Amino acid sequence: MTPDLMEAGAERAARAKGQPHDTGATESGGRTAGFSRIATPGEVDVTHGRILYLEDVSVSFDGFKAINKLSLDIAPGELRCIIGPNGAGKTTMMDIITGKTRPDEGTVFFGSTIDLLRHKEAEIAQLGIGRKFQKPTVFEHLTVFENLELALKTDKGVRASMLFRLDSAQSDRLAEVLETIHLAASVSRMAGNLSHGQKQWLEIGMLLMQDPKLLLLDEPVAGMTDEETARTAELFLTLKGKHSLMVVEHDMSFIRTISEIVTVLCDGSVLAQGSLDEVQADERVIEVYLGR
């Protein structure tokens, strides 16, 4: 190495020392976005501070544009509420994220590296996106216990299922979720015999068993009593931070309890975004809700 190069190096080192250190405190939790990160296949990369990106997504059914150039992103740990009039494309958006519907155009990314459009429903679920349907969908002829056991995060291949035995860590997890969803006393009951609200809770419990990074919840408190709704709100607030949540709901008081940022969808694209008070004061939002 020549002296002038060494000199230049020493100079650079001195300059670097003088600059404030990178604290590593990024929105995504300590990891810096840069060129030299290792992307692990199947691992969600949230170093850019976004767990879900939708960009210019469009889909039409028989000429009807259900989703029209929709762009939306969600941060890790965020609890995002989505509202919008009927037919705004809320459920279709969830269908696109979970792989049920293929968009005509646009990109959908989970983290920075996983292109969700390349995956099937089951793979997307295994990547860490859980979904609760609008109508509670549980396995009616299985018990509450069996429902939760099925949803448990584990190897979901055929052979693994044939030889599956619940280990103690998994039993603990199951017991914990049963307590969380208040169905501990109904553990051996058939899911089909549960009340509507209990089915909703069971489905949420099944999502929790999957331990997803992102939860999509389509009208989670529909048909629940006020007490059940309050409990659900509490539950969601505890999940926030550890998981990212996207909640579609019509119950405004419920949204007021849980929301930070509310996104208003209308005619398949984002109409407004902000706190609930902000969007409720928005002229355009008032128009789509009341004007028609």
**Least distance to another protein, CB of residue 139, Å:** 4
DSSP state of 143: B
User: Which CB, 77 or 285, lies closer to another protein?
Assistant: 77
Sign for the CA dihedral angle at 170, 191, 120, 91 comes to negative
- Figure out which of the listed residues 71, 195, 238, 253 binds another protein, where binding follows CB under 8 A: 238
User: Which CB, 70 or 174, lies closer to another protein?
Assistant: 174
Q: Please enumerate in sequence order all residues whose Cβ is within 8 A of that of 70, keeping only pairs 6 or more positions apart, or say none.
A: 54, 56, 57, 58, 89, 93, 106, 265, 268, 269, 270
Residue type, 92: T
User: Which CB, 98 or 269, lies closer to another protein?
Assistant: 98
Q: Does the footprint of another protein cover residue 117 (CB under 8 A)? A: no
Q: Does the footprint of another protein cover residue 153 (CB under 8 A)? A: yes
- Figure out which of the listed residues 12, 37, 242, 284 binds another protein, where binding follows CB under 8 A: 242
Q: Does the footprint of another protein cover residue 114 (CB under 8 A)? A: no
Q: Does the footprint of another protein cover residue 189 (CB under 8 A)? A: yes
What would the x/- binding string for another protein be over residues 204 to 223, using CB under 8 A?
--x---xx-x----------
Q: Does the footprint of another protein cover residue 196 (CB under 8 A)? A: no
- CB atoms < 10 A from the CB of 74, how many? 20
CA 273, CA 263: separation in Å to the nearest integer? 4
- Figure out which of the listed residues 8, 156, 225, 275 binds another protein, where binding follows CB under 8 A: 156
3-state secondary structure of 39: coil
- CB atoms < 10 A from the CB of 61, how many? 11
CA 41, CA 71: separation in Å to the nearest integer? 25
Q: Does the footprint of another protein cover residue 41 (CB under 8 A)? A: no
Q: Please enumerate in sequence order all residues whose Cβ is within 8 A of that of 76, keeping only pairs 6 or more positions apart, or say none.
A: 27, 28, 29, 46, 49, 50, 51, 213, 244
**Least distance to another protein, CB of residue 164, Å:** 4
**Least distance to another protein, CB of residue 90, Å:** 17
- Figure out which of the listed residues 55, 123, 251, 282 binds another protein, where binding follows CB under 8 A: 123
Q: Does the footprint of another protein cover residue 80 (CB under 8 A)? A: no
Q: Helices 226-239 and 196-210 sit at what angle, rounded to 10 degrees?
A: 10
Question: In the structure encoding, which two tokens stand for residue 203, read together?
Answer: 């489905």
Q: Does the footprint of another protein cover residue 29 (CB under 8 A)? A: yes
